[in-house]
Amino acid sequence: MKAEVLTQQRPQEDIQQDITQTEENETEKKESEKGSKKSAIIREIISWVKTIVLAFVIALFLNHFVIVNANVPTGSMQDTIQPGDRLIGSRLAYLKSEPERGDIIIFRFPLDEEENYIKRVIGLPGEHIEIRDGLVYIDGSSQPLEETYLREEWYEKNDGISYDIPQDCYFVMGDNRNNSLDGRYWAEEAVRYGLADSLEEAEKMEYCFVSREAVLGKALFRYFPSITWLASNPYDKAEEE
């Protein structure tokens, strides 16, 4: 009789074991799902980090070896370039050629190479340049340089200036000649900063000019607040005509 009772109770124990096993399986399944979700989140984070790092490396490479991203704070190049304009310049523009007269270049400021300036190339290496009555004469030419890009009549520091431009150097000025701290003023600034004892010494030390190695690139286009092409050279058009 007792044996029959034991036989009847055994299936209940098996059911309880099955329930316990099922609960354990569900717990393991939930823990596994949590682990899978956690792993998926970690993989997603790693993927985003890789993307951000790659984008940063590409941007760093482009900015140091391919393009120059410039923000213009002053009006020295008006009306060609306005204060607040943002530009892209090409570091590759002069790999196989040299800056030409009329090019707008981005360069390290001769008096402080931590600062970048943007101006237009007026005088080339080895040239003699004279400024008389608001006109620029190259190598003693009787015909002044035609400057259709000037903002207005030029009356500030526009007479009695001459330079012999050293080799591998350029003389640059802003298009807004009446409000541009450019090559005409840099010798005076060098003396004021204590970099030279006289204007003559400052000129000999080439503070009036932009050295070839200081040229970072050629301005290509403005992208803010509007897109405008800047790489066209006005003297190329004059030659075609």
Q: Which residue has the tokens 């530009």?
A: 87
Tell me which of 32, 37, 39, 76 is the catalytic residue.
Answer: 76
Which parts of the chain fold into alpha helices (H)? 2-65, 186-192, 199-204, 234-240
Which residues on neighbouring strands pair with residue 67, listed in sequence order? 90
CA separation for the pair 16, 142 (Å, rounded)? 112
Tell me which of 38, 47, 119, 237 is the catalytic residue.
Answer: 119
Active site residue 47: no
Burial 27-62 (b: 16+ CB within 10 A, else e): eeeeeeeeeeeeeeeeeeeeeeeeeeeeeeeeeeee
Active site residue 29: no
Cite the active site residues: 76, 119
